[in-house]
Structure 1
Amino acid sequence: MTDHVTTALHDALAGEAARMTTPEDPWPRFAARESAHRRVRRRRTATAVAAVLAILIGVQTNVVPLPGWVPAVAVAAAPSRLTAGPTRGSLAGDAAWLEGLRRQIPYITEPEGLWEVADRGAIRIVFAGDIAGHRLAFVLLRVRLGLVSAWTIARYGGPAGAAPDRMMFDGTMDAREPVATLFDGTVTGGGFALVVGPPGAAVTINGGAVYTAEGTVVRRTLATSTDGSGVASVVLPPGRQPEVATRVTVDGALYYSGPLTGGWSGRPGESEDPTPEMLDAAARGARGPGLDPRVFLTFTATALHSSRLYPQDVTLRLLWTGTVNGQPAGLLTLQPPGGGVVVWAFHGNDRVHSFDLRLLVPADGAFERPYAWRLRAEGHGDTVTDRVVVVAPPGAASVTVTSGGGAPVQVPLDASGSGETTVPPGTPAVVTAYTAGGEVMATTPLHVLEGDASQLPGDTPGTRVTGS
């Protein structure tokens, strides 16, 4: 009798399950949102993972409460060492305020549902303190959506001196991130930068990046922390959006280096876009068929913004124009007075475009170099192809590409001094330009294609020549 009942129950449940629509599992979108948090200040994410164990959609979205005895499925690794140790910051010793904040955290609201706090006893306030008229807190939470649980770090903010109930949820970050960073402010009011590293870490906040004539990026030190707290902060003055970065070391070894997450609102007094007169002057002498002024403006505006430069501060030159993947393309340079040369290659139009090269080179010989860049598969994100575009410098009679330790391969050049060849993805290569007499004019490495523009050209080996 027991076997008969068991079989009947099994068959009934199996039939019912087959008729049910499997609810979206939230984890992939949740993880993707948290990873992207390093690059944008406000999270606009949504996530979904297959929760095969969930029978009711209402359970998985927390519309119907999940019984406490049902275990959650943990889909993320443990938090990083950033979250270790006691609370840090100016409010670390205010037990009443910290406990008040804990009570004010019922859940995390995201597009996929309400991520409930899975274990209130595990709430850990990593940092809490006042900086430049703001009260900030980073809180480690174990959250749960239906049958899925994960660790996350939630950020809360309010005015300086704010009571716990005035602290507003302001986004999340992946608890596996090595550091928590934030910079925020306005053109008229200024702002702040904050870095929270692991306890015991030495933290430096740098700013005021300069492209040196030698082809390097140099920053001045804005703030340091060597007291063992692993926390550094600085007040930032009004004006243009600052270019800030941090360097974190643990026991003398580099632990993290990179930009800060944040935003800067408002526009400075000077224009951020070049004038038509600037564009006309820059295009004189460019080889190739030319660019539509709107396309040239689009390319230039992107290059200036991503290089953290303003048109009043640079000499702009358009070196070459042509066609890449059936779309207008251009190779242009930005050079601050007495500084290095930032080289950009783009293709697209004034609505949709992408950069193919961003490279900082020394000022000496920058315009006698050949330049080459790899192409992505059009419409396939960051997939790199074996296609390479080459642009020779003025006066060059020929150009070769040498890859993987092989023999130089000559690249046929058109009337604009450009050509195309192939180099297997990931294979080191150099492009060399020659005079009519066969003498070498200059050689430039073919770098690995980098799609992340969150750091400055020259910050990484893939975006510079010096020290590569």
Structure 2
Amino acid sequence: MSGEREESFRRFVAGRRAALLSTALLLTGDRGPAEDLVQRTLARARRRWRRLVGSGDPAPAVQRLLVRGASGRAARRRAAQVVEDLPDPSAPPPATSPAVADALRGLDPPTRAATVLRWYELRPAGESASLLGVPEDTARAAVDRGRAALLAVLDAHDGPFRRDGSPADDPDERLHRALTALAGAPGRWRLDAAEAADDVRSRVRRDARRVAISLVAAAAVVAVAVPLTRALPDPPPTAQAARVTAAPAPPLPRAAVLVGPPRGSLAGDVAFLDAVRRAGWGAQEAPPPDEREVVLATDTPDGRVALVVGRVDDDFRGVWLTGPTGAAAADLQVRLPRGLGRDRPLSLVLGGPGPATLVVVAARGDRVEASPRLVVGPRGTVGRTYEEAATVDGVAVVGVRTTPDGTGVSVRVLREGRTVHRAGVDWPGAGRDGRAALPAPVPLRPAAAPPDERLVATALRSVAVPLAAEPASLEPALLWSAPLPAAGRPGSVVVAVAQSPGGGLVLTTWVGSGGGAAACGTQTPPGTADPRGLTVARVCALPVPEGGRGEDRWLVVTAPAEATSAEVVDGSGRLLGTLPLTDGGVVASLPDDAATVVTRAGDGRLLAETAVAPAAAQPFGDYGQGPPG
């Protein structure tokens, strides 16, 4: 995208995103899914931005993408993880009865969308039908159903939208006020406009290169299931209209982070600083001692740590040096920092398992926040809560907890009120003293062969670490396992399920072969769901072995015992093939263009339509990936 079009897109996001979020909140019922819907919509719009801008005002076309993304077939069958901030107990009470929100959420997606367009946005039925892509009679019928359902709730509760002493209050006005109050409910969004535009750019770039990216092998971490979306046809050109003139979002503020003078409790110890500059850097070629900078030198409750940086030719390098409190510089151990860059914050965890100390180095004046773990709520919503950490000269030293397998901690750094960095933390102690004990999980479905116990353990540990829990505490179960197809490479697939401390379920799928393993994806059903009744359909992939290029890809389907076959269809509904479901599921070579799996009982009854979830690029845990964009 050219600079001019990029700027116009950012202006559009700055000027229209708030309205899109309000509508999306009504369409989805929760802030997390609403924000994800808007981000997916904006990503679709960005891919065709040249056409949209060339046709005039892009707003109607973007609105159409939003509504169809929330009301189409994919929305009805989507079964992916939602990232949502859990409710803030200190937030003010809602401006409307919770029953109204529940009633709106209870409508099927097309009816809900038609209701929102008519009674919140006050669009005529014909315009609503055009946005929904349905006949006008269908839109009118949906509008009437939604109106009747919501007015019944308003009448029953006689909430704040009925004016006392005014029995003739127009019911349509009451309905509009109720939806307006819901759309404007207090709460915060995860991203601001500039961060949202950066996120959209990242999504588009990530989608473009996803096919080319090989999944990481044995050390891979579990990936979040990305909701399946089908590309919509480009909307017809709209009439020329005034373009959005909102000011462009300013760039993220930059600052030199890993620079002197030294910071920390040992910053005044000249002899120690001189010794640290001369300390070895292990096998890495180091700059001459007089060209090295000591960024940090401090003692913590879990030991001594120093951060030293410098340049070799044009390459910026550095090392952590760690050891017991009071250790001499020559006795400190070398650790190479992850994600090293002059302008990038760094973090390191000392101590553990159990209580440990987190050290974060940011720019002077930055705000540092830490989140101890991911929370999966009872409804399957997923989010993190960050708390501000005390800083001195941009350095935070925070007590955290770790498990033998890792840490669920994520760090967020804000500058001038904007997030400039969000990421997981580096902990050298993960797995150092052995892994957490893991009992054999209970199998919930039949399997053709015993599961690969190492693969099951890897899957469950990768779920437990972000939740800051040990696997055994999550009531782990094995939903299903199966070998890879006999005609191909040896290996197996496992689908494991765990009960999160927050009340939701976590369902994760992994594939392994030849000692390597990769996450296929994770979804988070509500805690009330019976795992035995869940249907999973997703892509698993592993790099081609023996130095080959590309990757092997499989379709993994597991369904309740009643299901005997799985029809694989593409985005247009065309049948690609039918797979028999034996021993609880099937693993087959991935058909091209597979979009949906339709499971049927032995008598032909349709049981479920499940979107085929692709192997996603984002790790489970919502740690963040460093600087935005």
Q: List aligned pairs for 1:8-407, cutoff 5 A.
A: 81-84=256-259, 86-92=261-267, 94=268, 96-97=270-271, 99-101=273-275, 103-105=277-279, 108-110=281-283, 115-118=285-288, 120-143=289-312, 150-162=315-327, 164=329, 167-172=332-337, 175-176=340-341, 178-187=344-353, 190-219=355-384, 221=386, 224-225=388-389, 229-236=393-400, 240=404, 242-264=407-429, 265-266=432-433, 272-274=437-439, 278-279=440-441, 282-283=442-443, 285-286=445-446, 288-291=447-450, 295-308=451-464, 309-324=470-485, 325-336=488-499, 338-348=503-513, 352-363=515-526, 364=529, 367-379=533-545, 380=547, 383-385=550-552, 387-403=554-570, 407=574
- Identify if the C-alpha distance between structure 1 residues 184 and 434 changes in structure 2 by more than 3 Å, giving closer, same or farther: farther
CA pair 446-313 structure 1, distance change in 2 beyond 3 A: closer
Residue 353 of structure 1: CA displacement? 4.2
Partner of 2:285, secondary structure, is strand
TM-score, normalization by structure 1? 0.63
Identity %: 19
Structure 1 partner of 2:611: 444
Gaps of at least 5 residues in structure 1 are 1-35, 41-78, 462-468
C-alpha distance in 2, partners of 1:375/1:125? 43
Distance (whole Å) between structure 2 residues aligned to residue 428 and residue 87 of structure 1: 56
Structure 2 residue matching 1:302: 3-state secondary structure? helix
Structure 1 residues 200 and 444: alpha-carbon distance in aligned structure 2, compared to 1, 3 A threshold: farther
**Letter aligned with residue 96 of structure 1:** V
The answer as to 2:602 corresponding to 1:418 is no
Aligned-residue offset at 1:165: 5.3
TM-score by length of 2: 0.48
Change (3 A) 1:361 1:122: same
CA RMSD of aligned residues (A): 3.9
CA distance in 2, matches of 1:180, 1:102: 19
Cα 1:446–1:162 change in 2 (3 A) is same
CA contact (8 A) 1:376 1:382 kept: no
CA contact (8 A) 1:156 1:170 kept: yes
Partner of 2:145: none
Distance 1:263 1:234 in 2: 17
Deviations 1:252-276 (A, max 9, x none): 33323222111334358xx6121xx
Q: Distance in 1 between matches of 2:609 and 2:323?
A: 55
Shift of 1:199: 3.3
Please state which structure has a larger fraction of its residues in strand.
Answer: 1
1:273-302 per-position Cα deviation (integer Å, ceiling 9, x unaligned): 21xxx44xx23532x4121xxx53212211
**Would the aligned equivalents of 1:377 and 1:385 in 2 still touch at CA under 8 Å?**
yes
The answer to which of 203-212 and 126-135 deviates more is 203-212
Give the paired residue count: 356
Do the aligned partners of 2:303 and 2:322 also contact (CA within 8 Å) in 1?
yes
Contact 1:342 1:361 (C-alpha < 8 Å) held by counterparts: yes
Higher helix share: 2
Aligned mates of 1:406, 1:449 — CA distance in 2: 23
Q: Per the alignment, in what secondary structure is the counterpart of residue 372 of structure 2?
A: strand
- CA distance in 1 between counterparts of 2:408 and 2:346 reads 17
- Kindly state the Cα deviation for residue 371 of structure 1 after the two structures are TM-superposed: 1.9
Q: Which runs of 5+ in 2 are unaligned?
A: 1-215, 221-253, 465-469
The aligned amino acid for 2:365 is G
Deviation, 1:368, is: 2.4
CA shift in 2, pair 1:356/1:156, >3 Å: closer
What's the offset of the Cα at 1:173?
5.0
Q: In the aligned structure 2, how far is the partner of 1:318 from the partner of 1:439?
A: 22
Q: Report if aligned partners of 1:373, 1:449 keep a CA contact under 8 Å in 2.
A: no
CA distance in 2: counterparts of 1:430 and 1:196, whole angstroms: 46
Tell me: higher relative CO, structure 1 or 2? Use CA pairs within 8 A at least 6 residues apart. Answer: 2
Letter matched to residue 399 of structure 1: A
Secondary structure at 2:497's aligned position in 1? Answer: strand
Q: Is the 8 A contact 1:434 1:442 kept in 2?
A: no
Per-residue deviation, 1:418:
1.7
Work out the CA distance in 1 between the residues paired with 2:530 and 2:572.
Answer: 25
Q: Is the 8 A contact 2:383 2:622 kept in 1?
A: no
Q: CA offsets, 1:315-334, max 9 Å, x none?
A: 31232423343424233222
